[in-house]
Every structure is written in structure tokens, then in C-alpha cells.
Structure 1
């Protein structure tokens, strides 16, 4: 009975994941394995060619847990994304999203290593909840510890080692991820030096929670060649209300030498804000509205490759700025559809033209089967 209790606690706490449903495919001798996935038929409608057309994909993963001696447990998770909007002859673009393994000791905490979410995303996840658009003012995949990344060692404890109920703390170390210049296996924007991060959240009760996180990393030689400094860091704080069918969340963050922009450059500083409101109706309809903005400060020049006459001379500029309006409708727990409209507030100017930033609105239409 005690083993089953530990295993149940472990499975319910298997790190950050957007898994809404899972199919148990094995459960025997204190070992459990769940399979999950989804198929998304997705189309974008926009005047911007890069943002228009078929964006469909499929996703498959598993998560498992095993009870070992006494209160010690083990767990692992793997998740793979498959693009389905390209011809079979084209380069796949498929990628592993998550792949980590770890140990958990009763109420003390868990430790895992692999490809996982950075601790900065612990706060960002509260506003990254929209049907399609959102959660991208500053969090990016393989961008230090702002989103999913490689080489992450993470320790997490709930209830602060059993001493403070509903207080969660995470400590994280990220090893260096530097591109191989010869093989070009990692772009400058996805590199990082050694770094560390910490996050904490607390449930105040009555549906209200608060959170904060900080991370600091060395920059690689290729990144620090811009002479903006040897370090990149970011801090963020957030608050959410989730009760009585109403969901409200707000996030503020600042980054330094971390956010890529323009032509392979990093912003000296960004200030980022995300606001989200959603309501769950009893008829399975869930509308949402959000505001997302990232403002770059002390930006470097973005030059025209043909002439300097129309170059962006640096300074301050909005890197991301839009309003999202959308809604999801759930037929049941396995099938839902959604429509999401991104009202782009960026203006067409020298910066957006030279940096190839989309300034057009985008409408997303999706139909999802998940398990």
C-alpha cells in the first residue's frame, strides 16, 4: 500500500508538462508507464507569407515511474514533435521536445537531468495558456533557461521539504551548450554558457498564487563577441487567479544580453509583460483574451545589407506586441477545436523590415485529437 502511495504521488508530480490526458499502458510491480500524444490540424491565415498556410503537427510522448527501495522512486519522460505540413521528401524538422530521467525521495524532493524546461518558464507557464498565440514575449526554445533546453539538472521540492505547505522551490544548473562551427549544429541564438537558476511559487489560497524566478548564465565566445558583456541574466515574477471557472494571470520579466533580435544580435535589455484572462463556460466553451509585449532597450544597429540609408540605428523598439483573442470548444476530453486571432500592434518601419519581423495579423484555426 505504501509503495502504491509513493508511486501515485510521483506520477502526479512529473515535472512541467502540457499533458492533458494519458493512456496507461503498463502498471505492474510498482512500475507505471503512460503514453500520451495529440494530432493537430492547424492552419494560419495571414497576409504575411511566412505566417500563412498549413502548420499541422503531431506529438507523442511517454512518462513513467518506478518505485524502488523504501521512499526512493525513479521517473522519466520523453516527448517528440513531428511536423506534418511539409512534403515527405523535405528535411523533417522533427525534434525531441523533452527527454529527462530523475529520482525522487519521498517528501524531500526530486532531481533529474536531460532536456527539460528552464526554471524561468515556471513563471512564464502561467500566461502561456492560450489556444495558439501567447507566451512568447521573451520565452524561447533553446534560449538559456527561458523555455525547453538541453543540459539541465533540476532539483525541485514541494512544501519546502515538508515544512511550508504549498511553497514550491526549484534549483537548476545548465551546462554549456556551444555550437560546432564546423558542423553548424547550433545557431548563435541557441547557445549558452554554464548557468544557474532558481524559482519559487506559493499558493495563497482562494485560487491565488504568486511566483518569481531568476537565472544567470555565462555567454559563449560567439555571443560575447558583440562586446555587450560576458553574462546573460533574467528575472521574472507572476501572479494568477484560478477559481470559479475564471482564470487570470499576469507576468513581468526583464532580460539582459539574453533575447535574440534582428540579425543574430542580442538585446542589451528587454522589458516584457503578458496578461491573460480566460473563462470556462459550462457548455465547454473557453474564450480567452491576452496582451503580450516585449520592449528592447539600448538595441544595437540593424544595418541594411545593400545600403545604410535605411538602417535601424538602435535604441528602443518593441520586439513583440500584440493582442490575442480566441476561444476553444471541447467536444470531450479527447477532442476540441479552437480559433485564435493575433492582432499585431507592431508598426512597419526600418527595424521590422530589416529584422524580417511580421507586422501582419494572424488567424489560427485548429482541430485537435489528444490522448
Structure 2
């Protein structure tokens, strides 16, 4: 890292902390809350294509409607937009993050349908707490790994009200497919067949929690056509195992995530791309919260695939995260995050199409 950035790093010490949503409506047990975050962020990177402004905004509504003493209707909608585009680039930079509606049945749990987080995220989210980097061994619209469409979700907390801290979720994802691939490969990369998932988390004593999640989905015919080395089968499978220790001052989390025919590799806008036959992902994070509002963060991320277009094994991600955030109050914070790459550029650039050099992210957040 160049010395000219040191003064900026020292100055720019964002915790993605919780902030109370703004209540828009509350009457007769019916509520509607507005929430969001404004993130002003810049990447400092040697590659001009990735160096520069990464600012964005996310905002949404959460609503509940009292249907009876035991039934509550619920709905969530969240949208995001990049803020670093010129007006001449059009208005197609907005995207829907979440959008689902359902009913909660008291201690019997809740059921909802729409665009939602996959059950693998219930465990994967434990390491996705670094100021900017980390939490990226999984991607959005990739079966049950992150946010995705056509999710039918049943959730139960405290196991029907009988076991405190024991939570589970069952999920079904309907088919999302396109017969044609767009110029960036999005229809291919983000498609899926019918699938099922399950997650279980348990809050043990002494601030320790353990979690596990599994999923299985059909692959689309288009995705199966990418099996250039040999037939990888009609299914994708994945599981996640997580452990965390969370007190006011100390946060420790570990995640092991394993996928089959699910993790995309290379660039989907090129001719050499596909889904790895197997992928093994490891994420570790440690943070400490000072009373002053300062929160240092140290993380390690590694993602290894087996079976690219040449049938070889590669580390597509391996880096150390070193950062810190400073929380002024529950609404305002600032951060610096330094990604120290551990991969050689010659292996990384041709296989993963990811940044091969170190990156610094600087930002400030306003949350409500």
C-alpha cells in the first residue's frame, strides 16, 4: 500500500450496526416502518476499472397487520441503487433486494413468499460483519446462498415457544430459468431449478451459537450444458456450518461452506465460465468493541474450487481483511477496510477474474 494513503487510513476509521427504523404508521396494531442506509464509499486500487466511487443507498419498508390475536400479516420490500453513475447512464441502476409477504402464526412460526434470503444465509451471515470485505464466498441469486427469487419460507423461533434459542427454517425455491443467455451471462448464472433448503441455529449458553444449513436444487438444462469436462449431474448441493461467540465487546465467528455444482467461476461474459464441481469456503472473523465506539476487525477468507473448464483445482479467493469502524451514534459511522490479497496475479486473473492486488475501502454510513 502506498505511503500517500496512510494519512487517509488513519483519518477514516463503518460498522453495519443496528439503527431504529422510522415509524411511518402505527394504529390498531398495524405498523409500517421505513429503514435504510446511505453509504458513501471509495475504493483505492491500482486497477483504474475498479478504483473509484462505490457509494450506494438501500431503503425499504417493513409492515405488520394485526389479523387476530394469533395471526399477523407481514411484508418487507427493500430496494438499492448505486450512486456512482452519471445521469447520462440512465436509470437502470436500481435493483430490488427483498420483496416478500406472509403471515405469522404466533409460536407456530411464520410463512412467506417472494424475494428473500436463502436458508444458507442464516449461517453464512455470521461472518458477513466486516466493514466492507468478507462474506463474499457466496453470491446473490445463486440458488440458496444469498438473496433470490421465488422463495417460499417457513420460519420458527424458540422451537414453537418451548426451547429458547432453538430456531429453524424450511424453504422451497421455484424454478427461475431463461432459455437464452444475455450478453453478461446473467440468465445462466442466476437461473435455478426447483430446490429445498433447511437451516437450524441454536443459541447455547455463555453467548455461543452454533448453526447448520443444507440445500439441494435442480440445475437448469442451460447450466448442465456447461459441463465441459464430464457430466457433473443434475443437482446442486450445499451445506454451511457456523459457530460464533458474541458479547458486547467481543465477536468471534467461523464459517465452513461447501458447494457442489453451485459456485460460479471466471467471468460469465467470457467464453470460459461455468460452475465448479466442488467448492470449499472458509471464513474467519474477530472483532472487539471499545466503549469509545471504535471496533477493529480482523478476518480471513479462502475459497477453493475443484473442476473448472480444465478440471483443475484453484484458490479463487484468499485474503486477509484488516479494518476498523467508528460509530458516532446509532445512526452515523465511518470505516476503513484493507483487503490484503494472498493470491498471485497470474493464477487469479485468468481463472477468477477478481482483483489481484490489495484494496482499501473508505466510507461513511448514515443509517435509519
TM-score, normalising length from structure 2?
0.90
How large is the RMSD of aligned CA atoms in angstroms? 1.7
Aligned 8 A contact 1:51 1:362 in 2: no
- 5 Å-filtered alignment, 1:229-244, equals 229-244=233-248
Q: CA deviation at 1:180?
A: 4.7
Match of 2:161 in 1: 162
Match of 1:149 in 2: 148
Q: Does 1:106 align with 2:110?
A: no
Aligned 8 A contact 1:240 1:249 in 2: yes
Count of residue correspondences: 342
2:297 pairs with one of 288, 306, 322: 288
Match of 1:62 in 2: 61
Distance (whole Å) between structure 2 residues aligned to residue 202 and residue 181 of structure 1: 43
Partner deviation per Cα, 1:186-244 (whole Å, 9 max, x = no partner): 42111110000000000111100000000000000010111321000101100000014
- 5 Å-filtered alignment, 1:173-192, equals 173-181=172-180, 186-192=186-192
Match of 2:11 in 1: none
Distance (whole Å) between structure 2 residues aligned to residue 237 and residue 325 of structure 1: 24
Distance (whole Å) between structure 2 residues aligned to residue 256 and residue 182 of structure 1: 22
Match of 1:353 in 2: 350
Match of 2:278 in 1: 269
> SS of the residue aligned with 1:349?
helix
Aligned 8 A contact 1:180 1:186 in 2: no
Match of 2:7 in 1: none
Aligned 8 A contact 2:348 2:356 in 1: no
Partner deviation per Cα, 1:141-167 (whole Å, 9 max, x = no partner): 000000000000000001111232211
Match of 2:331 in 1: 334
Aligned 8 A contact 2:199 2:214 in 1: yes
Deviates most, 179-188 or 59-68 = 179-188
> Is the alpha carbon distance of 1:255 and 1:117 closer, same or farther for their aligned partners in structure 2, counting shifts above 3 Å?
same
> Is the alpha carbon distance of 1:18 and 1:287 closer, same or farther for their aligned partners in structure 2, counting shifts above 3 Å?
closer
Aligned 8 A contact 2:345 2:357 in 1: no
Distance (whole Å) between structure 2 residues aligned to residue 50 and residue 332 of structure 1: 34
Deviates most, 314-323 or 147-156 = 314-323
Q: CA deviation at 1:63?
A: 0.4
- Indicate the structure whose relative CO is greater, using CA pairs within 8 Å and at least 6 residues apart: 2
Aligned 8 A contact 1:218 1:231 in 2: yes
> Is the alpha carbon distance of 1:351 and 1:132 closer, same or farther for their aligned partners in structure 2, counting shifts above 3 Å?
closer
Match of 1:308 in 2: none
Partner deviation per Cα, 1:325-369 (whole Å, 9 max, x = no partner): 111101111111000001111212255235422211110000111
Structure 2 unaligned spans of 5+: 1-15, 267-271
